[in-house]
Every structure is written in C-alpha cells, then in structure tokens.
Structure 1
Amino acid sequence: MKNFAPIAEDATTYREVRGLTRGLAVLRALNEMPGGVGSVTDLARHTGIHRTTVKRLLETLRGEGFVHQKDEGTFYSLGFEVRRLSEGYVAVDWIDQVAAPAMKDHLRALSWPSDLATPDGGFMIVRESTHRASLLSQHRATIGIRIPMLVSSLGRAWLSWCDVEEREATLALLRARTDAIGVLARDGDYVKRIIRETRKRGYSMNRGEWASEASVVAIGFPILVGHHAIGAINLVLQQNAVSDREIATRYVPRLRALSNEISAGVAGSVRG
C-alpha cells in the first residue's frame, strides 16, 4: 500500500460560504436599525440582497434563535442567541472594567454620545460607545466602526499624544494610501499644524472635516498611560445645536473629567 503525505490545507483553498456571508449581513443590518427591529423590505434595501433571499435567511436565523418575528411576522428583531454568541468575546480588560462603566456614569452629564477608540492599521476603531443609550445620538451602532485618523477628533487626540514612534509608524502607513487621507498625510505642514493646535488647545476638535459626518462637531481627549495615549474618547454633537461657547464652557470640562477618570483607572489597573 502506498503512503500518501497529507495535503497541506491553506486558507486560500477554501471558498467563501455565500449564504453565511449574507446571513451575517442581515444580522448586522438588523442591529443597526432603530430598536433592532426591521422588515424584510427594510433589510433588503439596507443590504442590497433580494427580498426573497432575505426572507429565507431570516427564517433560517429564526429557527436557530438569532431573530424573532414581531407584529404577526411583518417585522423581525434580534434574538437571545445573538447575545449568547458575545459571551465568548473577551475585550481588552481596561475597556470593559474601567472605560465602559465610566462612560455610562457620565452619560447623563454629557447628554451627547461618546465613542472610545484605539488605533489599528491607520484607523481608530471604536471599542465602546454610548450611542445606543444617548437620546441625542444620530447613530445606533458604532462599535467596530473604523474612524479616519487625520479628520476626526478621535484620531487627532491619539496622534497628538501618542508615543512618537507610534505616530511616525502610523503616519507612514497613512502616507502610503491613495485616498484623500493619504494626500493629507503627505502634507507635512498640515499634520504638524493639527498636532500643534490640538496640544495647545488641550483637546482635539473636528468641525465637519470628516465628509461623511459633515454636520457633526466633535471634541476628543486622549486616554493616557503615563504621558502617552493608548486611545481616545470623543463627544459627538450636532453643529447647529450647540455654540462654540457652550462647547468650551460646558462640554470640554465634562469630557476632560471623563477622560481623566478613565486614564486614572487604567493607570491603577496597570500598577495593580
């Protein structure tokens, strides 16, 4: 009998399971809808998947407990099994143990929603958020969203106070891009001005520079361990709803207090 060597399996030898990809797209879309509730038509429009396929996917997900029917089957909502899946997820300890409780405690004073983000691959990735709980939020689900570095308060706050080597490595990554962010990153004077103004002000700000959020004004503070930022936290406001004076006198001190509390908590956990 001949001995055959096992064939090495590589990820590239597997094809994407299209049905699974579409099912996950439906779950994501449902999660982003107000109250986590949507109709087949809503979900088809949001995902670009045909209504008949969306209906089949929803019925499969319903059979597994990931969605429930509401209003005699007209609408669907997320089921308990979605939450059960998240039980195995382990986040960075300081985000769950320090940042999330502090953000919840400060929400009433801030009113407007906040995002906490950490750097990853030239973007700020939202790790925790109060958008779901804030009555003034224009978005329902922001966790996991990639935020651009140079035009957001989160990115500007982190870049202005992070370790110099991390900043240079990130800027090198941004300069290699071929989009508008790459153009900005290659403009050394622009980058220096943003960092200089942010540090002088004591907090970061963007006022509509992020094209997809042109109506937003956001302020941000770094989350510090020692003298270096490991992340950043913002406050997202609508430009036509607050004045510059109100931002400076009311919201900046409150967001600073939250960032200081998180930074102190993180420093304490590191020492512990």
Structure 2
Amino acid sequence: MFMPAFDPVTAVLRALEVLRLVNQLDHASVAEIHRQTGIPKATVLRMVETLINAGYVAREDGAATYTATGKCLLLSNGLQVHARMTAKAAPILNVFRRKVGWPSDFGIFDGDAMVIAATNREFGTLSLNRKPGARAPMLLSALGRAYLAFCPADEQERILQALRLSKNPLDELAKDRAGTTKLLKQTRARGYSVSDREYLDTIYEGAIWGIGVPVMAAGQVVASLNVMFLRKAMSMDSGIKTLLRPLQQVAEQVGTDLDEEALGLSRGT
C-alpha cells in the first residue's frame, strides 16, 4: 500500500470538500456546507472566499449562496483525455480479441502504476479476471514496463524516483538502479516488454505469460497494451512470434486514431 511521505494538509482537504459540496449542491449556503461537513461556519466562509478569489466559486447575486464556475471543468481535463483514449481503444481491443483469441488490456499511467482503462477479458474464464480500474505495477507488469521504457528520460526518472520512495513491495525493484536501467534499456531496444515471471507466478499461479507494447501518439508514449496467453498453450518465444506483431498493429491503430483526434480538435472539427 502506498504511504504518503507527509501528513495531509488539513486546510487543503477542507477546501476540496467545500468545493465538492458547492459543485454538488449547485446553490450552496455556508449553513448547508457546515451542516454536511461539520466544518465551523467561519472556516467555511474563509474557504469559500478563497475559492472565489481563485475563480472556482462565484457568489450568486442577491443571495447568500454560492455556485461552482466553469473553471472547475479544468480540473477534469485529464480524466476527459483518458476517457477519449479509452473510447478509441476499447473497440479495437475487442476486434483484436476475436482475431487472436487471447485477452489484452489497455493501460494508462496513473501516478505510480498503470490503471486498466479497458480490457477485452471474458470474465470467469482462464483465471484472468482483472476489471477496468485495476492497477498494474510499473516495474513488474508488461503494461508498466512498456510505458516506462518509452518515456522521455526526465519523466522516466521522476517516476522511478517516486517508486524508490514507495513502501509498496511491488515497487521494490526501483531501488536496484543498475538493474532497472538495464531492464528498461533492453525493453526499449527490442520494442516490447515482458511481465516479470515471479510476479506472474504469484498473481496468476504460473499459468500465463504477458507481453506489452507502448501506444505512441504525437511522438510520445501515452498508454500501453498487453496480451496474455496460457503457458500450456504456447511458450514465450512462440507467443512473441505469433502475437507481438498483431499487438503492435493494434497499438499503432490506437495511436493513429489519437493523432487524428488531436488534429481534428486543433482544427476545431
């Protein structure tokens, strides 16, 4: 479990809770916010005035109530981008599943891990149940390795530094700087990643292999894709030989669609 390096700032937590309620209630009063949060009214008022000053809240004319402004939409830009990426990837993954017969996931970087944004797994089969929202470790999963190996050097180092400070045992490999550097260089050189065998043995009881590739758009890595297959069905070498190129083609298609969407948005279409 991730452990914060510092105690949370109470004032920030309170301000975020006040902003959430202003947005939820639409016409929020100090008294109602106080009733729902227990925060003293004087503190609520200070929080509201601070949010007004920052442009996220506005006082309604002729009333002692407050409403959220359009600036709050900026806070969801990252989620909107992720949703659009997932919408592009999901149908392509479904076609890929029908073509190769093996399940795969679409992963997006989320702070200290890859979050499964879309999957074509058929739940209840092959013991490969992992739903959207599940998190895959950066240095043990094929998804994480594929993303991290193709990051720009400065971003890669920021991520690795955060992982070195993590208390999560799944991030322990980050503390081996030489080993991590070698792993990521090898992954980038060959153009694909493989899941850590010990990790797979633990999570899937030694039943599967996993390989992954980056999704590139506008010349940079934006996500990653994997494919998982049963060890008793084929060896790792056979899986790479038969599944890698189709997986790369899927990643290229998703990346192209994202490029085209970005171009359309820049033209206002």
Return the TM-score normalized by structure 1: 0.64
Please say if residues 154 and 221 of structure 1, whose CA atoms lie closer than 8 Å, have aligned partners that are also in contact: yes
Match of 2:172 in 1: 183
Q: 1:220 aligns with which of 212, 217, 242?
A: 212
Shift of 1:115: 0.5
1:11 positional shift: 8.4
Give the whole-Å Cα distance in 2 for the aligned partners of 1:194 and 1:148: 15
Shift of 1:7: 8.5
Which of the residues 124, 135, 140 maps onto 1:151?
140
Letter in 1 for 2:259: A
Structure 1 residues 139 and 268: CA distance shift in structure 2, 3 A: same
Give 1:238's match in structure 2, choosing from 230, 234, 250. Answer: 230
1:13 Cα offset (Å): 4.9
SS of the counterpart of 1:143?
A: coil
**Retained in 1: the 8 A contact 2:106–2:116?**
yes
Q: Is the contact made by 2:102 and 2:228 (CA closer than 8 Å) also made in structure 1?
A: yes
Q: Report the counterpart of residue 170 of structure 1 in structure 2.
A: 159
Q: Is the 8 A contact 2:103 2:121 kept in 1?
A: yes
User: Secondary structure of 1:138's match?
Assistant: coil
Residues 252-263 of structure 1: matches in 2 within 5 Å? 252-263=244-255
Show CA shifts across 1:207-239 (max 9, x none). 523132352210001111133211100001122
Matches within 5 A, 1:189-208: 189-208=178-197
2: CA distance, partners of 1:10 / 1:181: 42
**Number of the residue aligned with 1:95:** 86
- Residue 120 in structure 1 maps to residue 110 in structure 2: yes
Q: Which amino acid aligns with 1:192?
A: T
Matched, 1:105 2:77: no
Aligned length: 192
- Tell me the distance in 2 between the aligned counterparts of 1:165 and 1:11: 43
Decide whether the 8 Å contact of 1:156 with 1:198 is kept in 2: yes
With 143-152 and 222-231 compared, the bigger mean Cα shift is at: 222-231
Taking structure 1 as reference, are residues 248 and 139 closer, same or farther at Cα in structure 2, changes over 3 Å only? closer
For 1:143 and 1:203, locate their aligned partners in 2 and report how far apart those are by CA, in whole Å: 22
Q: 1:130 to 1:137 in 2, by over 3 A?
A: farther
Q: Percent identity?
A: 24
Residue-by-residue CA offset, 1:30-67 (whole Å, 9 max, x unaligned): xxxxxxxxxxxxxxxxxxxxxxxxxxxxxxxxxxxxxx
Asked if the contact 1:220–1:233 (Cα under 8 Å) also holds between the matched residues in 2, the reply is yes
Distance (Å, rounded) in 1 between the aligned partners of 2:114 and 2:36: 28
Range moving further from structure 2, 154-163 or 224-233: 224-233
Unaligned runs of 5+ in 2: 1-29, 40-78, 265-269
Q: Is the 8 A contact 2:215 2:254 kept in 1?
A: yes
SS in 2 for 1:92: helix
Shift of 1:142: 1.7
Q: Tell me which of 138, 143, 168 is aligned to 2:127.
A: 138
Distance 1:214 1:190 in 2: 25
